[in-house]
Structure 1
Amino acid sequence: MPIVRYTSFPGHTQPVTKIISLEHGILSVGFDNVRFTNKRGVMQWNKILKNTSTIAMLNNMELVVASSSGTLTLMNWGRGTTLKQVDVDQGILSLKTGKYLFSASSSGQVTFRDPVTFRQEHAMQFHTGGVSSFDVYGNYMVSTGYSIRGANLITDPLIKVFDLRANKFLPPIPCTINPTIINFHPNYASSILVASQSGALQLCDINDANQSRSQFYQAEVNGYMTTMEFSSSGELFALGDAFGIFQLWCQRDMAKVNSISKPSEYKDDHPQLEYPEFDDDTPLNTVGMPYYTKPLLSVWPSNLLFPIGRPSPKIPPEVLKNVKMVDFVGYAPNPKTFKRNQVPVSEEKTMVAPKFRSEQELEQIKGEVRSVDKYESSKISIDTGIPHHYKSVEIKYSRFGVEDFDFGFYNKTEYGGLETDIRNSYCNSILQMLFFIWPLREITKAHIRSSCFKEPCLTCELGFLFRMLEGSKGVNCQASNFLRAFGLVQQANNLGLLEPEHITSDSDISYGALIQTFCRFILEQICIESSSGNGAPSLIDDKFVQRLFSIPVLSTSQCNEHHRQEREISPFVIDLIYPRKGNGSHPSFVEVLAKSINRESVTKAWCSQCNQYQMTVQSKELLRMPNFMCINSNILTDTDLNFWIEETEIKLKKGPGHLISHINVSDAEGKPEWVFFNDFCVLPVANEERTFKKWKAESEIRSDGTNTLIRPSRYSLARVSVVRGEGPNEGVPFIDDYIYTSEPVCDYLTEYSGIREGDLDPLLSRKPLVSLKVAYKRLRLLVDMGCIFVGHDLRKDCRTINILIPPSQIIDTVKLFKFKNRQRKLSLRFLAWCLLKEDIQTTTHDSVEDARTALLLYKKYCEIQKAGNFEKVMEDIYREGSTCNFRPPNAKHDPRQRMPSSEIF
């Protein structure tokens, strides 16, 4: 795995003897000071202590500093203050913590001290010539050191083992190398790793008396080895030598350093501000208005305003050049290019963007019901511009949030679209295409039924997304969970597949190249994750995905001496290679594809039989056709583009582009049915429209002075609470999980979520933490079992969880208690106060309390309906609400839109 320097800074004027990495910074020890530095390199405190030798963490807030002159100092590492200082009878070289505070001296004695009072409890002589290294894990202590033979000091070949429970030495472990450094394996209590100064490594087991299962390794060191440490996950360890060379050893690629890691903090990238330029196209509202006390000149009275109509059409130049003026009237002969009495026909204005749902409801309440225009596709002609459904579609946000946007305006089909207000949503076109590959869809669905523990796992997230698209029935969906997991994959970041946080009109992003790289990446990732190598039992053949998409090609290499080497390769994607310009005839697509697969090249390469570099002829030949062939257009130059278009024109393009897809959704025996997918805009299209290419035109970014919200703030699931709706345990939660996150949290919104800082941190939280995938699987199981979900405004919670629940399985109390001809939605707290005579959410939100309240409101609704006085009760509720502004009398703050932090059932 690659090692990249994160930050560096001068810590001490003398050599550093000990380093401890903490969540918030680095503790380091020099010969005369102890220093705490945050991970950006900024010093937090520096404590001057003479002859310091080592340090050890006593607990979460305290550390012990030892000196070679015989002093133990207890400090608070958060503030850098000294709590107490104790003198001991001999100098200390190393420290370990556990049941006791263990200290080793140069005389070979290890002392056991009380961690509170520092009083000596036991003292054991481990080595006669001194202790070079020791470690403590559980009930065992192991050490390496030196023995005195005559007047010489030699390395002790035996590893001393001490049982802390029985307080006695166990039989020593013979070591074939000269051990000087020793460490317990963090994941295996009986395994120890021993190293010598020459770089020899031996992995031992303290329960194996003969050490028949020992493993040996050799590290290439310069000079001699000085240090060795395991990572907290136990998947890798590091070595250091006297020349400052750092080595990292691991069992597999992309090993984890920590079991639960957090993203590193990087400096903020502040773009350099430029002086704004003003010209004739700059809107006036970009200039701030001064304070004024009198009406402005621009405030015209209504009696001076009148419509002027559309401007008159321009008179053709062939008419103007023959015009004759008589008085003030002009006459000209008809140039025979126009019919008599012909006038332009004004086209009916159609809607290109829907109204908000709240606006539509308000019009219905006022009786202004209008026919809703459909966002339909029409046949494209050469004279028309870019069709509306080919343009980039954007989600508009009202004060009610994204739920107020009418997605149904863009989709009248049975296929679900994907929303765009998420980072890396350029992947939508490929995700929609993969969904309609039936075998792949079944593979991902089978994968989520297995016990996959990988985090993050893109195949799991694809399976969840495909299950949501299957049951969407034309309702818009979100790929937020998949794109969140995709953003956490280090390989995707290394390949440059992640969009920047903020995209502007000046962003230079080649989405064509980006989506082609993503296509190859996601197929390879599915092939790896769907096999049984990820720790989960495979429900399908490990090579099934490879056989489904791989393109078997025979690669042959032959040198000048006719030495021939053959091997079979199986790429997932084929990049088209276009013919050079000037070859005469225009080749067909099949010919270009065949030459891209079966190609031949001459290059200089190493020949293993000749043992030298030779000019070799390398050729590739297709062995058999795959089940599904993925082809990248690979358009790199204008010459490549000419293969696809009939007329080459200069296009003026301002701002980033976007991606669409045409997908054949028909079954194997049905008539081809093509559907156009532009994120959440989904339309059936004609067969010829999918390859039409003459309608492309210049794009323009208009400056109208308006501010539009492109990508809203992103909420993350923090807590899931599910209570039973009936039976003897009615109202008792059987799921109440907190979701740990490795992403930085800007605001916990504690007042509206009930989540406090540290609740989602695995190192600090006392809550039952689970991963998002585990919580999602539990909810997915409840949905598949047909459970009825009762809650208040569940649409927001479902969006945050990124799950689609069939409407037949949802009972939403915000809709139950919505009165006709009233647009206001009643809050859960107000309904509880008004109907149940209960005061909830007094300090913060509690999802279990909200769930129980929603359940009680549903039962109250059933009682009211059974009594037959629902309209009267609702009139009383609205009358009472109008007197108290729809807030309980003891409410301190105005109700805001709550953070969707819990799912309520």
Structure 2
Amino acid sequence: MQELLWAANEFGRITSFYGPELQRYTSYRGHAPAEGPVKQMLMCDRGVISITAKSIHLASRKGVTQWHFNQDDMKDLRCMAFTSKGVHEVLVAGCQETMYKIDVDKGVITSTLKADAPYTMMKRGGQYICAGTADGYVHFLDLINYKVARTWKAHSAFINDMDARSDVLVTCGWSSRPQHGYLLDHLANVFDLKTLMPLPPVPFPPGAAFVRMHPKMSTTCMVASQGGLIYAIDIMNPDAPSMRHANVFNTHITSLDIAPSGDALVLADAECAMHLWGSPNKIQFTEYGSPTEFADQVAPSPPIDWSPDVPLNLVGMPYYREMLFSAWPSHLVSEVGAPPSKIDAGILASLKRSDIGGYTSFPRKTRRHQFEDTRAVQRAQDTLSAPRFLSERQKDDSQGHEGPRRMSDALEALGDLALAGATRRDVPVMYRNVEIKYSKFGVDDFDFEYYNKTKHSGLETHIANSYTNPLLQLLRFTPTIRNLALHHTATSCLYDNCLLCEMGFLTDMLEKAAGMNCQASNFLKVFSSLSDASTLGLLEQFAAANNPLSVTIQAANRFLLKTFCDGFRQLPPHNRHMEQSLMTGALLAIRCGHCANEMLKPGETLVHDLVYPPKPLKHHPRMAPPRPAFSQVLKASVERQDQTRGWCDRCKRYQQLSTRKTIQSIPKVLMVNTAIHSPDHKQLWSTPGWLPQEIGVVVQNGQFFCYEGSDLKYHLQRGFYDIMVYELVGMVIDINSADNQKSHLVSLINVAPSSPDPADQDQWHLFNDFLVRSTTSEEALRFDMNWKLPSILTYQAKSASHVIDDSWKENLDPSLLYYLPRGPHKSPDPTVLRNLNPTTELPRAGMPCAIDAEFVALSKAEIDIKADGTRETVRPPRLGLARVSVLRGAGPYEGLPFIDDYIACSEPVVDYLTAYSGISPGDLDRAVSKHNLVNLKVAYKKLWLLLNLGVVFVGHGLPKDFRIINIHVPRAQVVDTVDLFSHRLRSQRRLSLRFLAWYLLREEIQQNTDKGHDSVEDALTALKLWRKYQEFMDAGIIESMLDDIFDRGRETNFKPPSVYKTERDTGEWRPETPGHMSVPGTPARKTVGLALLGGSNQTPPIKKDIFGSPIR
């Protein structure tokens, strides 16, 4: 005997674990998986004997096979026991007519015996082999001739477990009860093997399922229930048992055993988990065991310096005497095992049948000896080809070539990826991981439209904790949550860590983007900063390596909903609308099993984890066990009843407690975590049509009734109950891709309920990060236990569908725009920065505002250098907003800033980019900054308010700024001077702000490289350029001016000449303009109305004594 714990599973695999730490020692497959589970194991000197229904196997403790029997007459082996020869001979039997006596040392079947009954279990006790039958009897077989010496009816139905030690046999079993089926007996029966007479039974009220005799105390046995309750009972004095309880949550015990030393007890449950019990300081499996032999320790390799300064030849190569594969000549290398070529359809059409197959004439469509690379064809079919970069396609378009892949190709590629049927096992490409590729132009060069031709925006993946993207999409398409989030965001909430505000910002951005790619960077930044999220293991950098992604997203679902409710409630009038919409009201009754004392406390639930019924232990072999309906599982999950051990105030001690829920109310939105943990659960979800799209719920007398399908239609037609009908809004799906891809999450969502048009029918869409495509409800609701299983379900009351409340736009709180940041430093002079006047400068639709922003680098780019020396960007640098300036674009104070915020940064800054941003170290630190800093949320909300009040943003290169700020501004609200002064017919070049200011405005900006750019200066310059563009448009000379700008730009390489200052001072240089103008402008300036205001509102007169016109 050795310090090993042995276990086996249903696939014939046998595993051993060493010591109390259960260190894995050996694992081998002793039987074919098709033979079913391992029924029993016995330990002998030579190794481990195991049996399945059709074979007997002996292997050494190192896993080496000693002998194996698998005969045709072995049909249903169940049990075995050592004979009078001890561990040298074993008797094997089962539910069949024959038994086998096997010599363990020689590995031969010495004799085949006739069985008197079908035996399910055997134990050696005293002078007999105790054999339990399938109908509840115990046969006592004589050790000489193996004939039945005595029979005993132990249980009325069948025996579940038994054990024998010395001259005592103890059994546990089932009895048939009218109207209740089979139930475990509340007595463990005892039999005296000396007198062959029964002894008084041992009472066990929870129902005795398993029993083991203690190896040292001959009259003591351990009895356990399926629920985990364990009694240590002296069969001679059963009135004073010692009780323990094993915590087996959501499962049941399947077996029990005691170590030969008596110091350890092990339990196995239905979730394939083992529970080892004993004193941690003295657990020992055997008293006088042999030492366990371990593999020799591998000598550590010498350290190798891999730094860039060490030459590669110093690393060296391992010694070898034969030629390396890499040095083989090409004629010795060939690919084998390629899939066969697809037979041409024309050949199949003209095929003539014969006895040996079919034949036809060769069509001669290929050249002689030509073959097809079928591997390349298969790879092309199994992957969605990545699109080319936008810069490459623009280059082809400018040369008049049709690119090999157009954006419409995405629809064709995705259209060929529909599921072929419910039995398909290959993961379709549309469900696999998608990845952003980066060119030298960054992420803006990636063709996101290739992956999404719908009007619904996807979310990018290069952000930490972006595994939550599918859940965020699901919440955004749930109208109830969407409405509450946006209404909360429109209030005066300024809490930095309010995730509900961030959800509102994200929802508004996704709706405005209307199919363009977005990113949840601000939301995930706040999410990552929360200590509770880190504690719960929801952050990728702190998550356990072996924690399934489905478990993490379910925990994130619970966390987000609770955080949303807390955020909604913290503002006056502190109402509970969010909780009422998401929370199931309930009372939790806790009852002591000893004194029957019952205590009530609130039991509200935001998320329901599904609780599946346990698999029946016994059922008719010809009848499949009944499959529970989804509505039944949901009812049991909502009305959750548990057994636990806790403190009883009346008994003043820990007792067995039972809990049950009394349902008081149901919400508009039911959030359900599927909690799939076992193969039985996966098989249940793989059943076609198991998940209903509609369910009906009735709450009556504290009970939760759920209906689906025909039952729901029947109750709706009767109209007797007040039924709330829910429809399935969407799901978060766990995808286990093959081809060495890590598992990931997608969402399948019915977008119709979030449409304001009640006539819209079901419109299911797949959201795989930034890949979005429409699909059918059949495909959406089809699951596969191998690769596609749901993690989160969202049901919403049907009455809340199509209810899109946009009244928040009329209830925006713009008070934040009328105040300047407060802090320890003096406010700027009003001629430099002046806040808006709430009575005369209320932001309105069409009002122009000049904007510019500066950024700092929070992380550097992650670059992968390949073997050929090429560099590939894995993740781009992460930039953070450092300063944002917004200027008035019209009115008496035109060009005067009303927002000039520096944003406090709590993250480490890796590069301040001072030459471009104008931000220096310390500017963003509250302790030393000379500016009055604001939080990111305050600066962001100001821009968000201006956006939703309808202002028009004027700036230079705004799309990049808006992307980093993480806000989407519709094109109708953007005036970008990059686009205004672009000449698509002549060049794809985008002109810099500095060059345009030099040429058109005769102004010199961005000259001080030490101090960097000034966002106020850049925004003001963009505003002046827009005014200049309006002058050109009004005079009708815009095309000629663009020609002149690009001609002059080619002469100066589109940069201001270095001698510009000298030439300006001496008056020697004048830019050439059409019509012999002295400067770029119009010969006769008119009063021009703002184009974006419809041209009806004219620019008000300028007060020269306050600020002055930007174009004089």
TM range (shorter): 0.5 to 0.7
Is the CA contact (8 Å cut-off) linking 1:597 and 1:621 kept in structure 2? no
2:302 & 2:491 partners in 1: Cα distance? 52
1:666 is aligned to 2:707? no
Is the CA contact (8 Å cut-off) linking 2:686 and 2:782 kept in structure 1? no
- Which of the residues 570, 577, 582 maps onto 1:549? 582
Counterpart secondary structure, 1:759 = coil
**Cα drift, residue 338 of structure 1:** 7.6
Q: How does 1:774-793 map to 2 (within 5 A)?
A: 774-793=938-957
Which residue number corresponds to residue 501 of structure 2? 460
Is the CA contact (8 Å cut-off) linking 2:425 and 2:786 kept in structure 1? no
Which residue number corresponds to residue 1001 of structure 2? 836
Is the CA contact (8 Å cut-off) linking 2:610 and 2:637 kept in structure 1? yes
Is the CA contact (8 Å cut-off) linking 1:798 and 1:804 kept in structure 2? yes
1:809 & 1:363 partners in 2: Cα distance? 31
Q: How does 1:442-521 map to 2 (within 5 A)?
A: 442-500=483-541, 510-521=548-559
1:510 & 1:789 partners in 2: Cα distance? 45
Which residue number corresponds to residue 692 of structure 1? 782
* Larger deviation, residues 487-496 vs 386-395: 386-395
2:1026 & 2:948 partners in 1: Cα distance? 23
2:516 & 2:887 partners in 1: Cα distance? 28
1:682 is aligned to 2:760? no
Which residue number corresponds to residue 563 of structure 1? 597
Distance 1:507 1:853, change over 3 A: farther
Is the CA contact (8 Å cut-off) linking 1:813 and 1:857 kept in structure 2? yes
- Which of the residues 735, 743, 752 maps onto 1:657? 743
**Cα drift, residue 492 of structure 1:** 0.8
TM-score w.r.t. length of structure 2:
0.47
1:601 & 1:571 partners in 2: Cα distance? 15
Q: Which amino acid aligns with 1:564?
A: E
Counterpart secondary structure, 2:881 = coil
1:640 is aligned to 2:681? yes
- Which of the residues 565, 569, 572 maps onto 1:537? 572
1:891 & 1:596 partners in 2: Cα distance? 79
Which residue number corresponds to residue 321 of structure 1? none
* Larger deviation, residues 649-658 vs 585-594: 649-658
TM-score w.r.t. length of structure 1:
0.58
Distance 1:809 1:357, change over 3 A: same
**Cα drift, residue 495 of structure 1:** 0.9
Q: Which amino acid aligns with 2:578?
A: V
Q: Which amino acid aligns with 2:747?
A: S
Is the CA contact (8 Å cut-off) linking 1:412 and 1:683 kept in structure 2? yes
- Which of the residues 758, 775, 785 maps onto 2:922? 758
Counterpart secondary structure, 1:643 = helix
Q: Which amino acid aligns with 1:760?
A: L
1:867 & 1:793 partners in 2: Cα distance? 26
Counterpart secondary structure, 2:975 = strand
Counterpart secondary structure, 1:777 = helix
Distance 1:784 1:453, change over 3 A: closer
Is the CA contact (8 Å cut-off) linking 1:386 and 1:696 kept in structure 2? no
Q: Give the RMSD, CA atoms, in angstroms.
A: 3.9
1:352-394 deviations in Å (ceiling 9; x for gaps): 3222222222222111134431344453114584322211111
**Cα drift, residue 567 of structure 1:** 3.0
Which residue number corresponds to residue 587 of structure 1? 628
Q: Which amino acid aligns with 1:676?
A: L
Q: How does 1:419-434 map to 2 (within 5 A)?
A: 419-434=460-475
Distance 1:626 1:336, change over 3 A: farther
**Cα drift, residue 612 of structure 1:** 3.0
1:393 & 1:498 partners in 2: Cα distance? 21
**Cα drift, residue 544 of structure 1:** 1.4
1:736 is aligned to 2:900? yes
1:725-759 deviations in Å (ceiling 9; x for gaps): 12222211111111111111111000000001111
Distance 1:848 1:692, change over 3 A: same
Is the CA contact (8 Å cut-off) linking 2:513 and 2:968 kept in structure 1? yes
Counterpart secondary structure, 1:636 = coil
**Cα drift, residue 276 of structure 1:** 12
* Larger deviation, residues 570-579 vs 738-747: 570-579
**Cα drift, residue 781 of structure 1:** 1.6
Which residue number corresponds to residue 244 of structure 2? none
Which residue number corresponds to residue 712 of structure 1? 876
Q: Which has the larger radius of gyration?
A: 2
Distance 1:741 1:339, change over 3 A: farther
1:528-574 deviations in Å (ceiling 9; x for gaps): 11113xxx334xx6221111111233322222222222333111111
Is the CA contact (8 Å cut-off) linking 2:480 and 2:668 kept in structure 1? no
**Cα drift, residue 723 of structure 1:** 1.2
Q: Which amino acid aligns with 1:439?
A: T
1:445 & 1:608 partners in 2: Cα distance? 46
Which residue number corresponds to residue 992 of structure 2? 827
- Which of the residues 350, 357, 380 maps onto 1:336? 357
Q: Which amino acid aligns with 2:548?
A: S
**Cα drift, residue 478 of structure 1:** 1.6
1:413 is aligned to 2:454? yes
Distance 1:853 1:316, change over 3 A: closer
Is the CA contact (8 Å cut-off) linking 1:554 and 1:569 kept in structure 2? yes
1:831 & 1:695 partners in 2: Cα distance? 61
Counterpart secondary structure, 1:571 = coil
Q: Which amino acid aligns with 2:357?
A: K
Which residue number corresponds to residue 430 of structure 2? 389
2:359 & 2:435 partners in 1: Cα distance? 42
Distance 1:311 1:651, change over 3 A: closer
Q: Which amino acid aligns with 1:369?
A: E
Q: Which amino acid aligns with 2:589?
A: T
1:515-535 deviations in Å (ceiling 9; x for gaps): 101000000001111113xxx
1:143-197 deviations in Å (ceiling 9; x for gaps): xxxxxxxxxxxxxxxxxxxxxxxxxxxxxxxxxxxxxxxxxxxxxxxxxxxxxxx
Counterpart secondary structure, 2:410 = coil
Which residue number corresponds to residue 846 of structure 1? 1014
Paired residues in the alignment total 569
2:304 & 2:979 partners in 1: Cα distance? 51
**Cα drift, residue 465 of structure 1:** 1.1
Which residue number corresponds to residue 885 of structure 1? 1053
Instruction: Flag structure 1 segments of 5+ consecutive residues without an equivalent.
Output: 1-271, 278-283, 289-297, 299-307, 318-331, 893-905
Which residue number corresponds to residue 199 of structure 2? none
1:863 & 1:458 partners in 2: Cα distance? 46
Which residue number corresponds to residue 359 of structure 1? 392
Q: Which amino acid aligns with 2:934?
A: V
**Cα drift, residue 680 of structure 1:** 1.5
Which residue number corresponds to residue 870 of structure 1? 1038
Distance 1:874 1:696, change over 3 A: farther
Distance 1:509 1:790, change over 3 A: farther
Counterpart secondary structure, 1:605 = strand
Counterpart secondary structure, 1:778 = helix
Identical aligned residues as a percent: 40
Distance 1:696 1:398, change over 3 A: farther
Distance 1:396 1:600, change over 3 A: same
Q: How does 1:229-244 map to 2 (within 5 A)?
A: none
Q: Which amino acid aligns with 1:543?
A: R
